[in-house]
Amino acid sequence: MLHGMGPWDTGGALRNLFAFTFLVFSGAAYAQATVEIVGKKQTLADHPASATEINLSDDRTRSRTLADTLEREASVRVKRYGGDAAQSSISIRGSNPNQTNLFLDGIPLNNAVTGEANLADYNLDGIDRVQVYRSGQSTQLSGSAIGGAVNLLPGMGEDSPGNKVRLRGGTEKTVDLAAQTWGHSPLSDETTEINPWRNRYSISGHAGRSDQNFKFRNNNGTPLINEFDDFDDRRKNAQSKDAGLTGYGSIGKGNTDFKIVDDLGYRMHGVPGPGNRQTEKTEREILRNTVGLGSDSKGLGADWFRLETRGYYTYYREKFYDPLQEFSSGSSNSRGQLDTYGIHMMPSFILPAAFQTIRLFFGEEREEYHQELKNRLGERTTKVPARFRNHSAFHIEDEFSFWDKRILILPSFRYESYRDRFPDFRNRAIVEFGNPEKRKIEFKTGGLSTLVTFFRVPMADFRLRAGGSDERRIPTFLELFGEKGSVIGNPNLKPERSRNLEGGLSLLTKDKRMPAEFSVTAFRKDISDMILLVPNSQFSLRPENVDAARITGVEASVSLFILKTVRAYTNYTYQKAINYSDVTYLRGKYLPLRPMHDMHGGLTLFIGKFELGADADYIGAVFRDRTNEYTSYQSGRWVYGCFLNYTAIKSDTHELLFGINIKNLLDQRMEDVIGYPLPGRSVNGTISYRF
């Protein structure tokens, strides 16, 4: 029997813990300590919070999409509306997609319009590592995160300069060509006058296309109720064309480095619609570019001071074409443009005598959204008033480290301020700023996490982690200002709030013959003031703070590499996500698309020049709607895949690799969202040459 959420006020408890921690451990300033190298950063494995870093070099053929890569992690689920080019969203530990933040080298990629990022819009070419934060996020990243965060880190190339080309092709007329070049200045003694400067660069580009006209089972609009009229059909208007360019460069001298990163992407793809109402001409076009400039000064003026800076600009343009009005009987076409820019400053103070490292974050950001509605002839019918959002942020984290980092304590605090405007420029001649609807939201959040290494021997570390945090999610433009004809805006919405607790243990072995890692973590997430679209009339919805949820679970992972011959890994998540909404017909229901059981495992064998492996995914039964109707029930499913790589040439400077990858080996007919089938068996071959 389900019980009410009950009171759980961590705000006062966390504040008391912060005060106690600062008072007790600040006295350690009088103790002796060895000098730490200024600016030395921990890896995510050493961080007290639940976080992992995915090294994409392990997949040398780069045959996976961002969605494929993320869903292999524990407590991470991806919801797809079709093949690789279709809309894909992420959920971490049962959170909603708009509660999870996405970054590119610390640059925020989520938008203020819907709050979520489409994983299909971002390609992994040019990306070397993916950081996944399951609880909150680093204080060096902007904003607060109820549903965790994902940070994409661009590649800087390999240790030695080189080039790489890759050709991939497969089922559904898929073809993709990618190339990369990288290099750096030779190592030199900076005390000489030969070459005191150091530089590094990496440039990656790709172009591809796919028809995605896979077979699926068309239920003819009567799922489960009547299966006699079901028939095999082929997906239409799901084609895609995309191209991208990612570049990274850095130059430095002495203790200071400057860097630049740029990520450009273009994609045109069909919007096929649900299986029983497929479209013919509906398309979506996306053009985006993110550029960031940064600096990193270690020992700036003093050995104990480090200063990092970041400035960025993102241009995002989206066009929607519906010439036959297959999706809407109103405006056929639309154009939206989002401009985002900001500046971040991240000073750090390394105080070894006090066993502390203090990290600060100052950020100023701005988003501007412009939208036009057009008819089927491309003529503008409506210019939606522009929407603006300014965001100011201040974060502080104080890391206390004792006994050679056997004990880490990290209290943190965040202050966030959002200011939204929705001016009516049609009245600009009457009033200087028209009749703007102004809104300001401020909130403070915090967290406390600890990492205790019980024993550390040359061959293994045994660690205990525990932590808690208080997070927020700001309402989106859609929720605050609405959408003409369907959603009535609600400017009085409060931010969604999440109180998180987690604790677990891990064991890491350092034996080079068999490195292994085992971890298990229990977590609980209580989300309140969740925003739910409530019917306001026969034809419109209004967002209200009436939803709530409690998500509890356990995640476990095991990985090992035996004698450089066998690599095995398994991730398992047990999760119970229950709705505690004030809405009677929703209270006690399971949250949609949150399986109770989720597992991914794989095995890879390295035999001479061959690398072969297999993987399996189990996704437990789910309901695909909030009310848990029988027609939305989906039973659990197993999905299998395999791959084979052959290295024909292998040397320090050259590598020729052939690979084949098969997904959904048993050709199962599946779907995450009702009416949007997923591809069956797909086969892709890859040729990669490094020189």
Predicted TM-score (pTM) of the model is 0.88
Alpha-carbon distance of 196 to 39, in angstroms, equals 21
Q: What is the phi/psi pair of residue 631, to 5°?
A: -70, -15
- Residue 275 is predicted with a pLDDT of 82
Note the pLDDT of residue 190.
45
Q: Which pLDDT does position 328 carry in this prediction?
A: 67
pLDDT on residue 124: 87
Percent of the chain with pLDDT over 70: 86
297-302: average pLDDT = 85
- Tell me the average pLDDT across 82-95: 89
Mean of pLDDT values over 132-139:
87
How high is the pLDDT of residue 84? Answer: 81
> What average pLDDT does this structure show over 182-199?
67
Query: What is the structure's pLDDT at 103?
Result: 95
Closest listed residue to residue 547, CA positions, set 532, 565, 562, 568 = 532
On the question of pLDDT at 503 being above 70, the answer is: yes
Comparing 70 with 301, the larger pLDDT belongs to: 70
**Which tens digits make up the pLDDT trace of 426-436?**
444 333 333 45
Catalogue all structural domains in the chain, each as residue range(s) with its CATH number: 10-690 (2.40.170.20)
**According to the model, what pLDDT value does residue 533 have?**
85
For the residues 308-323, what does the mean pLDDT come to?
93
Please compute the mean of the pLDDT values over residues 160-184 and round it to a whole number.
Answer: 92
Question: Residue 3: what pLDDT?
Answer: 34
Give burial (CB, 10 Å; 0-12/13-18/19+) of 335: middle
List the single range of 33-42, 351-360, 538-547 with lowest mean pLDDT: 33-42
Give the per-residue pLDDT at 105.
93
- Is it the case that residue 672 has pLDDT exceeding 60? yes
Q: Which long-range contacts (CB under 8 A, 24 or more apart) does 355-358 make?
A: 355/25, 355/28, 355/31, 355/33, 355/400, 355/401, 355/402, 356/25, 356/26, 356/28, 356/398, 356/399, 356/400, 356/401, 357/398, 357/399, 357/401, 358/396, 358/397, 358/398, 358/399
458 vs 314, more confident? 314
Report the alpha-carbon distance of residue 590 to residue 577 in Å, rounded.
6
The reported pLDDT for the residue numbered 7 is: 31
pLDDT tops 70 at residue 653:
yes
Q: Mean pLDDT across the stretch 109-137?
A: 88
- Per-residue confidence (pLDDT) for residue 116, from 0 to 100: 87
Q: Is there a contact between 129 and 53 (Cβ–Cβ < 8 Å)? A: yes
Task: Kindly tell me if the per-residue pLDDT of 296 is higher than 60.
Answer: yes
Mean pLDDT along residues 336-345: 94
Contact 510, 51 (CB under 8 A): no
**Cα atoms found within 13 Å of the Cα of residue 680, Cβ hemisphere only:** 14
Q: What's the confidence (pLDDT) of residue 114?
A: 86
User: Nearest-CA neighbor of 200 among 261, 130, 109?
Assistant: 261
pLDDT band at 602 (very low <50, low <70, confident <90, very high): very high
pLDDT tens column, 242-277: 999 999 999 998 889 999 999 999 999 998 888 888
pLDDT at 404: 79
**Which range has the top average pLDDT, 66-70, 259-263, 323-327, 423-427?**
259-263
Averaged pLDDT of the chain: 84
Q: Give 543-584 as a DSSP string.
A: EEEEEEEEEEEEEEEEEEEETTTEEEEEEEEEEEEEE--SST
Question: What's residue 304's pLDDT?
Answer: 92
| Angstrom distances, CA of residue 641 to CA of 123, 256, 557, 569 | 21, 46, 20, 15
